[in-house]
Structure formats: structure tokens, C-alpha cells
Amino acid sequence: MFKLKSTKEIFGLHKFSEHGVPVFEKNLGPGIVAEANKDGSIFINKGTSDDIAEKAIAHEKVHLDQMNQGKLDYDDKTVTWKKNNHSPARVYLRSNMQEGGAGLEWEKEAYRLQDTKLKK
């Protein structure tokens, strides 16, 4: 029997991909579940269960919003955070911080808002 592939399968998209937010499975480093990228995509670690992936993707969508609002930016060496339009930008060295650490300001906001991004 012949079965047509879905559009997501053809393009290698994760099943939680949405219009404007492609999600790709990728082997990420140890302890990394997901990453938000400047191009608007999200990487999810290969083999992540659906319930963990759904929550991680919701969290990363908050980071995408933060980047789109000009609050969060990053490069290979630094992360720049600007809490709001009235606050100065703060630059953090990636070598001196734990990526994804719950105590980081942009992470606190993402954990607080991630439930608003979960699929209903």
C-alpha cells in the first residue's frame, strides 16, 4: 500500500511545528531539551517525549517572543537581556553562566509565561 507523506514529514518538521515556527529534531548537547533560534525556528532534542517536547517548545516560543520584542539577543559568546524599554541592556558572558538556568532573568520570564504558549 502506498501512503503519502505529510508536508511536515517531507520537510523534516517535528509534529509540533506551526506556521511561522518550524520545529526540527536535532541531537543537542547533554542536558539540552530545546533551543530557540534567531531565525524563528526551534530545535528539539531527538527522542524527547511528546509531553516534555510540548512544554519545552512552549518555553522556547517565549524566547522567540523575547527576541522579536528586542529584549533578548545572543551570539556565540554573549547573551544580551533588556527587561523592558526603560531598562539598560545587560550583557552576560555565556562562558560564565549556566545556559537555561532558572535564575536568569529571561528564563524566569519564560518559565512564568510558557503555559500561555501551550497548545490547547
pTM of the shown model? 0.88
Q: 23-26 and 42-45 as β-strands: parallel, antiparallel, unpaired?
A: parallel
* CA–CA gap between residue 29 and residue 36 (Å, rounded): 14
Q: Residue-wise pLDDT tens for the chain (120 aa)?
A: 778 777 777 777 888 888 899 999 999 988 899 999 999 999 999 999 999 999 999 999 999 999 999 999 999 999 999 998 889 999 999 999 988 899 999 999 999 999 888 764
Q: Where are the domains of the chain?
A: 9-117
Q: Give the Cα-Cα-Cα angle 67, 49, 29 (nearest 5 degrees).
A: 55
